Amino acid sequence: MPAQPVGNAESPSAATRPAAIELRGIDKSFGAVHANKNVSLTIAKSSIHGIIGENGAGKSTLMSILYGFYTADAGEILINGKPVKIHGSHDAIAAGIGMVHQHFMLVEPFTVLENVMLGAEDGVLLRGGAGKARAELERLARDYGLNVDPDAHISDLPVGEQQRVEILKALFRHCDILILDEPTGVLTPQETDQLFQILRALNARGVTIVLITHKLREILAITDTVSVMRQGEMVATLPTKQATREHLAELMVGRKVRLELDKTKATPGEVRLSVRNLTVVDAKGVKRVDDVGFDLRAGEILGIAGVSGNGQSELLEALSGIRPLSSGGITLCDLEVSPDAPYGPAVVREYGLAHVPEDRLRLGVVTAFPAWESVVLGYHDDEEYNGRILMDRDAMTNACGKLMERFDVRPRDPELRCGNFSGGNQQKLILAREIARQPKVLVVGQPTRGVDIGAIEFIHRQLLALRDAGCAILLVSVELDEVMSLSDRILVMFQGRIVGEVDGDEADERTLGLMMANAHAQADEAA
């Protein structure tokens, strides 16, 4: 594939050719949160433009304004050089803009065809439009390799295919500007490559692509031009050729960051957590965890990689006593757990297992509680927090203050409501709470999801320090980089099963990616 001209900025016609998108002074606040501050941005026609920034930098907000989902408080939008008023998504669609949202905009019980047609039905009755839509889907499948069964229900499709449906929806409406908001978060590395091929093919036919991500690698891999957002502001726009990882990271965070961790070799001790033939069936009768077994030793980090939704959440919940086992057993230090001898979160804690849940707002903290209350959750029966009859408020506030100090939680105010801390600081609070009791086993899910780079660094170092102090750590994450840089051993989960084990030092993205898609097994089956 020939290289695309960089941003068209250097081509002679650039001066005469209007930009595909021009944003001028876009401003947007959600209550007290100033999500976009006077943002201006120019995106050249037929380019691939990347927008990078940390979680919460305001990227999604900016794109949602362009797509008419939110209305800006101030600012102007020009499409192909013409000022447009975008009052809703219909205006954006009419202006030729299509968007693949971070959280897919698909009706789950509907079929692919129904989802594609919704809003572009072509007539009051469905029948006529459905025939045309089917034909158009076939054409798009041929032209871009976007194959999906039009009659499949969305809820039955894997995320990679759901994303294709999102792209098809946009193409079906004849967009010539396609915005993709964090499209690779749910994909394996191979699926990401496929997606990029599709994007290049679209771009070759003149579609302007706007790619939003927080992953530096992807920006360098595919974009012509890159813009960096930080805390609601657009801080830089430069041709990708001139950008380096370090430079972009610095622009994103606003200071120099170390991207590498120094990690020593692990010295595993005795087995602390042993899982045997563990199977978990959910309320609908679907097997979520299927015959999983492993040993976790003191002083090691065992990483579990996999595309989200392959049973990792259920495994975490089973281990931490939130979800009952269907069969198999767990040995936690000297506690034996089986379906006949179940346990709950309180017992688990007593035996020295601490849990940092994946979804911190649902299971980690109560957003309406002040920090000092959230910091005792789960340990609220401890002697140190309780007087003879009432709870000891001063003790709790003091403990919270100390933990905030040690884990560098900002602002250092035990009275602040949990919901008002940033994601990174909420996560530090939870980590502080769970680590403070020197657990024998720590089970962490997505420790840095929605956390800023500075806090990621800090959290990673804390986890390594804890390992070196002899804690057994089970790390579940969908961020492959995170699993690879922290783990001493890596297990890969696919459809509830462990499909591979790799040594931490030998792990590379390609092998893990193939395991995550269970490509080996499928190749065997085909053979």
Ligand X SMILES: Nc1ncnc2c1ncn2[C@@H]1O[C@H](COP(=O)(O)OP(=O)(O)O)[C@@H](O)[C@H]1O
Residues near other proteins, by CB under 8 A:
30-31, 67-70, 88-94, 99, 101, 105-110, 114-115, 117-121, 123-127, 129, 169
Question: Does 61 interact with ligand X (rule: CB under 6 A)?
Answer: yes
Pinpoint the alpha helices (H) of 370-445. 371-374, 393-406, 423-435
Which residue is nearest to Mg ion, using beta carbons?
60
- Cα(281)–Cα(315) distance, integer angstroms: 11
- In terms of CB distance, is 58 or 447 closer to ligand X? 58
Rounded-to-integer distance, Cα 48 and Cα 206, Å: 10
Distance CA 285, CA 5 (A): 53
Q: How many residues bind ligand X (CB under 6 A)?
A: 11
| Partner from ligand X, Mg ion, other proteins, none binding residue 118, C-beta < 5-8 Å depending on class | other proteins
CA 18 to chain centre: 35
Q: Could you say which of ligand X, other proteins, Mg ion, none residue 58 binds, taking C-beta under 5 to 8 angstroms by partner kind?
A: ligand X
Report in angstroms how near the CB of residue 120 gets to other proteins at its nearest. 8
For residue 279, give Cα distances in angstroms to 310, 323, 333, 483, 491. Answer: 13, 11, 20, 23, 16
Distance CA 474, CA 461 (A): 15
**Nearer CB in complex with ligand X: 53/370:** 53
64 near Mg ion, rule: CB under 5 A? no
114 binds, among Mg ion, ligand X, other proteins, none (CB under 5 to 8 A by kind): other proteins
- Cβ(177)–Cβ(98) below 8 Å: yes
Q: Cβ 61 to Mg ion, closest distance in Å?
A: 8
With contacts defined by CB under 5 A, name the span among 33-41, 53-61, 71-79, 311-319 that binds Mg ion. 53-61
Q: Does 60 bind Mg ion (CB under 5 A)?
A: yes
Nearer to other proteins, 70 or 494 (CB): 70
Enumerate residues 21-40 that contact ligand X by CB under 6 A: 30, 33, 35
Q: Which residues contact 418 (CB under 8 A, 6 or more apart)?
A: 365, 366, 367, 368, 369, 370, 371, 374, 426, 429
The only residue of 53, 189, 378, 504 in contact with ligand X, by rule CB under 6 A: 53
Q: Residue 286 binds which one of Mg ion, ligand X, other proteins, none, with CB within 5 to 8 A depending on kind? A: none
- Rounded CA-CA distance 71/83 in Å is 15
Cα(315)–Cα(296) distance, rounded to whole angstroms? 14
Q: Which candidate, 191, 117, 118, 202, places its Cα nearest to that of 161?
A: 191
Task: Determine the Cα–Cα distance for residues 447 and 487; give it in Å rounded to an integer.
Answer: 13
Is the bond preceding residue 109 a cis peptide, omega within 30 degrees? no
Q: Closest approach of Cβ 30 to ligand X, in Å?
A: 3
Kindly list the strands in the beta sheet with 21-30, ordered across the sheet, starting from the edge strand earlier in the chain.
33-43, 21-30, 74-79, 82-84
| Contact code string over 189-208 relative to ligand X, x by CB under 6 A | --------------------
Stretch touching ligand X by CB under 6 A, among 1-9, 54-62, 133-141, 355-363: 54-62
* φ/ψ bin of 343: left (φ > 0), alpha (ψ from -120 to 50), beta (otherwise): beta
In the list 7, 20, 22, 56, the residue contacting ligand X (rule: CB under 6 A) is: 56
Q: Which does 56 bind (CB under 5 to 8 A by kind): other proteins, Mg ion, ligand X, none?
A: ligand X
In this complex, which beta carbon is closest to Mg ion, that of residue 214 or of residue 489?
Answer: 214
The residue among 59 and 433 lying less far from ligand X, judged by its C-beta, is 59
Residue 426 CB, nearest distance to Mg ion (Å)? 17
Strands 441-445 and 353-356, by their bridges, are: parallel
Q: Choose among Mg ion, ligand X, other proteins, none what residue 57 binds, the Cβ cut-off being 5 to 8 Å by kind.
A: ligand X
Report, in Å, the least distance between residue 70 CB and other proteins: 7
Cβ closest to ligand X, residue 454 vs residue 470: 454
Question: Is there binding between residue 163 and Mg ion (CB under 5 A)?
Answer: no
Residue 53 contact partner, candidates ligand X, other proteins, Mg ion, none, CB within 5 to 8 A by sort of partner: ligand X
Show the tokens assigned to 471: 């804690």
Tell me the closest approach of the beta carbon of residue 29 to other proteins, in angstroms.
10
Looking at the DSSP bridge assignments, the partners of residue 228 are 52, 236
User: Which among 291, 274, 466, 277 is positioned nearest to 351, based on CA atoms?
Assistant: 274
With respect to ligand X, which residue has the nearer C-beta, 36 or 374?
Answer: 36
Pairing of β 472-476 and β 441-445:
parallel
* Interacting residues toward ligand X by CB under 6 A: 30, 33, 35, 53, 55-61
Chain residues in the site for Mg ion (CB under 5 A) = 60
